[in-house]
């Protein structure tokens, strides 16, 4: 889960890292997004998201807005949905 006010920032950072992941908005009202991670970049994206979690709420979820994630650990391609939570 991610504070939805941080979605633009997350997208910018991921794109700035040579597009290691592409972020798609699944539910703009609730701020649910999906990360499509480039093969071999899973560790880097995990580290980036872990760094974000030091500043705001970040928690991967298995299911968001009726969508199943297309990637699980150890696979290549697909996405990891992330849902927002307000820190207020």
Handedness of CA 47, 53, 28, 79 (dihedral sign): positive
pTM over 0.85: no
Residue 83 Cα distances to 22, 24, 36, angstroms: 16, 12, 15
48: CB partners within 8 A, 6+ apart: 13, 14, 17, 20
Per residue in 50-88, pLDDT tens?
A: 998 899 877 776 654 455 444 333 333 445 555 444 444
Contact 27, 65 (CB under 8 A): yes
């Amino acid at each position: 889960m991610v504070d939805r006010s941080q979605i633009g920032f997350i997208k910018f950072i991921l794109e700035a890292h040579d597009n290691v992941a592409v972020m798609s908005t699944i539910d703009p009202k609730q701020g649910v997004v999906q990360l499509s991670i480039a093969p071999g970049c899973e560790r880097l994206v995990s580290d980036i998201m872990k760094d974000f979690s030091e500043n705001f709420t970040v928690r991967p979820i298995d299911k968001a807005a009726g969508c199943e994630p297309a990637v699980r650990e150890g696979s290549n391609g697909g996405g990891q949905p992330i849902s927002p939570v307000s820190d207020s």
